[in-house]
């Protein structure tokens, strides 16, 4: 029997990898996309199926997590075996600027979905995955963090996700629903949104190396994160819904690095050795050495002594999460899950992808065309 899945947030990083994964497993995949004034389906265009084809296995529905009636209608129509609630205002810094909207989507949106499943009588059929987050640990109470570590959220985003975490647990306990939380630590990929720190770095440095930008402006480079690859993490999202009993799991690699280290690796992928100088807001990174081999292709715009990374306090957060390190032992023991892609391999993949785009843009610019490289980040 073909299984049917509904993914909120299908147009996002995880949604796109999860949709690919489920299609490969033979699922019929439905996704909710938001109406936007321009196309917002770039991450899933390669798996899009024309609705005119007979029995398409991937179907998109317009919708929004702030709209109960819309969610109810889609659930009623799709009757999914599995719901993956990945939709969210997912940017921590932005949540300080739009706290109420973040709460509406991330907290209330989760409640709306769970309640719609229940009221439609799908609670015994439909399994529910909630995209919970290591941000719940915030001001960490224990190192490394595991399923039993107390939460201490540090942003409107994390507080909203705390509600979503507990309402998922509550619907499981109160109504016997198969509902579970994946407490996922940071995961990245070439499809990562451009304003999250890893992608901002790989894209920014690739652009600088190609002469499209001058300098990368960073916030807190001391922050420590446990970074994995999104492909490994969506596999685990699916595994969590295939167990006999619903349970919550931490998904992490168990190693952490600083933002500064990620900058160093990214630069190294471009053949550049950086030297960090100065302290606090004065800190900056200087090009110390350029690897001769292939440098005319990778970093033609750079020379030794260029300052290409600086600090801009604009990117400091009102309350920071300084350190996150997950303990994925339960996922390994109970589900046999281990990450297959290291953070260094992921960094190399991200730089390679961003370099290709930057090289294309540099070529166009050299031939007199406008290229839209700058973003507000």
Query: What one-character DSSP code corresponds to residue 150?
Result: P
The nearest distance, CB 222 to ligand GDR, in angstroms, is 9
The two tokens of residue 100 are 């109420």
Catalytic member of 102, 126, 133, 149: 133
Q: How distant, in Å, are the alpha carbons of 2, 57, 153 from that of 28?
A: 7, 5, 36
**Residue 283 touches ligand GDR, criterion: CB under 6 A:** no
Task: Point out which residues pair with 4 in neighbouring strands.
Answer: 28
Task: Choose among 36, 35, 10: nearest CA to 21.
Answer: 10
Element holding 350 (H helix, E strand): helix 343-366
**Residue 134 touches ligand GDR, criterion: CB under 6 A:** yes
The nearest distance, CB 11 to ligand NDP, in angstroms, is 4
* Residue whose pair of structure tokens reads 């290409």 in the numeric block: 308
**Residue 87 touches ligand NDP, criterion: CB under 6 A:** yes
Catalytic residue flag (residue 133): yes
Selected binder of ligand GDR within 320, 344, 352, 359 (CB under 6 A): 320
The alpha-carbon radius of gyration of the chain (Å, integer) is 21
Selected binder of ligand NDP within 58, 184, 212, 285 (CB under 6 A): 184
Task: Choose among 282, 294, 306, 136: nearest CA to 205.
Answer: 306
Selected binder of ligand NDP within 115, 147, 170, 193 (CB under 6 A): 193
Binding segment (CB under 6 A) for ligand NDP, from list 83-91, 167-175, 209-217, 326-334: 83-91
Alpha carbon 92 to chain centroid distance? 11
Q: Give the helix ranges, DSSP H, for the chain.
A: 13-24, 68-78, 92-97, 99-102, 109-119, 156-175, 197-209, 230-240, 259-269, 295-298, 329-335, 343-366
Catalytic residue flag (residue 322): no
Task: Choose among 90, 103, 104, 194: nearest CA to 135.
Answer: 90
**Residue 237 touches ligand NDP, criterion: CB under 6 A:** no
Selected binder of ligand GDR within 72, 220, 273, 295 (CB under 6 A): 220
- 73: which residues sit within 8 A by CB, 6+ positions away? none
CA dist., res. 271 & res. 18, Å (int)? 33
CA dist., res. 290 & res. 267, Å (int)? 10
Catalytic residue flag (residue 157): yes
Contacts with ligand NDP, 17-36, as mask; x by CB under 6 A:
---------------x-x-x
Selected binder of ligand GDR within 126, 130, 133, 256 (CB under 6 A): 133
Contacts with ligand NDP, 154-183, as mask; x by CB under 6 A:
------------------------------
**Residue 98 touches ligand GDR, criterion: CB under 6 A:** no
**Residue 189 touches ligand GDR, criterion: CB under 6 A:** no
Catalytic member of 20, 135, 188, 349: 135
259 binds, among ligand GDR, ligand NDP, none (CB under 5 to 8 A by kind): ligand GDR
64 binds, among ligand NDP, ligand GDR, none (CB under 5 to 8 A by kind): ligand NDP
Selected binder of ligand NDP within 4, 89, 155, 266 (CB under 6 A): 89
Task: Point out which residues pair with 318 in neighbouring strands.
Answer: none
Catalytic residues: 133, 135, 157
């Amino acid at each position: 029997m073909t299984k049917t899945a509904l993914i909120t947030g299908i147009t996002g990083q995880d949604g796109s990898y999860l949709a690919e994964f489920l299609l490969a497993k033979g699922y019929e995949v439905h996704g909710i996309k938001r109406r936007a004034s321009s196309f917002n389906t770039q991450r899933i265009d390669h798996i899009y199926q024309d609705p005119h084809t007979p029995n398409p296995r991937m179907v998109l529905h317009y919708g929004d997590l702030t709209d109960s009636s819309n969610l109810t209608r889609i659930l009623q129509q799709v009757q999914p075996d599995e719901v993956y609630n990945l939709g969210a205002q997912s940017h921590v810094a932005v949540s300080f600027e739009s706290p109420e909207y973040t709460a509406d989507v991330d907290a209330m949106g989760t409640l709306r979905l769970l309640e719609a499943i229940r009221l439609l009588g799908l609670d015994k059929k439909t399994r529910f995955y909630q995209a919970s987050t290591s941000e719940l640990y915030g001001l960490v109470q224990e190192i490394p963090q595991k399923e039993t570590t107390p939460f201490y959220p540090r942003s409107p985003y994390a507080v909203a996700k705390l509600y979503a975490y507990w309402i998922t647990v509550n619907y499981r306990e109160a109504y016997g629903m198969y509902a579970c939380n994946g407490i996922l630590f940071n995961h990245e990929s070439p499809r990562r949104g451009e304003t999250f720190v890893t992608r901002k770095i790989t894209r920014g440095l690739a652009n600088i190396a190609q002469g499209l930008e001058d300098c990368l402006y960073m916030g807190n480079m001391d922050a420590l994160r446990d970074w994995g690859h999104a492909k490994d993490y969506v596999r685990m999202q699916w595994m969590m819904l295939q167990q006999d009993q619903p349970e919550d799991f931490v998904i992490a690699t168990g190693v952490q690095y600083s933002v500064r280290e990620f900058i160093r690796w990214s630069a190294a992928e471009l053949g550049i050795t950086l030297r960090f100088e100065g302290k606090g807001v004065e800190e900056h990174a200087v090009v110390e050495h350029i690897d001769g081999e292939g440098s005319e292709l990778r970093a033609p715009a750079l020379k030794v002594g260029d300052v290409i990374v600086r600090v801009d306090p604009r990117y400091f957060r009102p309350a920071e999460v300084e350190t996150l390190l997950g303990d994925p032992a339960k996922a390994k023991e109970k589900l046999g899950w281990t990450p297959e892609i290291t953070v260094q391999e992921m960094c190399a993949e991200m730089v390679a992808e961003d370099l290709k785009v930057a090289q294309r843009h540099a070529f166009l610019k050299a031939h007199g065309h406008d290229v839209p490289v700058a973003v507000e980040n």
